[in-house]
Amino acid sequence: AQSVTQPDIHITVSEGASLELRCNYSYGATPYLFWYVQSPGQGLQLLLKYFSGDTLVQGIKGFEAEFKRSQSSFNLRKPSVHWSDAAEYFCAVGRNTGNQFYFGTGTSLTVIP
Amino acid sequence: DVKVTQSSRYLVKRTGEKVFLECVQDMDHENMFWYRQDPGLGLRLIYFSYDVKMKEKGDIPEGYSVSREKKERFSLILESASTNQTSMYLCASSLFETTLNEKLFFGSGTQLSVL
């Protein structure tokens, strides 16, 4: 069965530090992978997506993610975190039937000054 | 920009009440979805719709129904609200494509409390 695991429930980083959020997926074929961000009081916004080609994908707000098939991972990274990046981050994989998605349980990011 | 609007940001209802959550999108999207978001559980799909008057069950449809009479509007109905339906409800929409690389556009959510 398809699934998405985000092993870190909550992460705290200092402003200016680097960030890596982990995502592992379980899928039988080449997955379609997404990272969404949810700022407080807001809906989810797409950061980036991968469906083929270059395994390092660039997204909005300075984020990038790398697809590693051997590790079944799609980790999100940012070299220097800003206070405005404090939010909840969701990894998602596209299902094999229709336009549906499995979402991970989310990682809450706190940024300290 | 696509706009997905959920009619209420916060809603408080009593056990047993019939509750309607409304969602409207303005970009002529075929697909619309209702998710609930709970701490530690992420987003779980309740129902979705590929077209007017069409609906499909998601992962947790029990206790819910939906209505899509017009393309732009997708309503989630709690026939008899219960306390375990206290949650954040998120509506989303997307264009219809057979490939899976289409992103979802989300509303801001409705925080429903059932007392």
pLDDT in tens, B59-113: 899 999 999 999 999 999 999 999 999 999 999 998 866 455 567 889 999 999 9
Please report residues of B whose CB lies closer than 8 A to that of A99. Answer: 31, 94, 96-97, 100, 102
- Pick B41's closest partner by Cβ from A42, A43, A105: A105
Task: Provide CB contacts within 8 A for A19, sequence distance 6+.
Answer: A11, A13, A76, A77, A78, A81, A85, A109
Which residue among A9, A42, A98 places its CB closest to the CB of B108? A42
Tell me: pLDDT of A79 over 70.
yes
CA dist A105 and A92 (Å) reads 9
Count CB neighbours of B50 within 10 A.
14
pLDDT at residue B11, as a whole number? 96
CB A37 within 8 A of CB A104: no
How many residue pairs from chains A and B have C-beta atoms closer than 8 A?
A: 62
Reported as a single tens digit per residue, the pLDDT across A21-45 is: 999 998 767 788 999 999 988 889 9
Distance from CA of A92 to the nearest CA of B (A): 10
Question: DSSP string spanning chain B?
Answer: ---EEES-SEEEE-TT--EEE-EEESS--SEEEEEEEETTTEEEEEEEESSTT--EE-S--TT-EEEEEETTEEEEEESS--GGG-EEEEEEEE---SSS-PPPEE---EEEEE-
Contact A99 B107 (CB under 8 A): no
Spatial distance between the Cα atoms of B93 and A80, rounded to a whole number of angstroms: 32
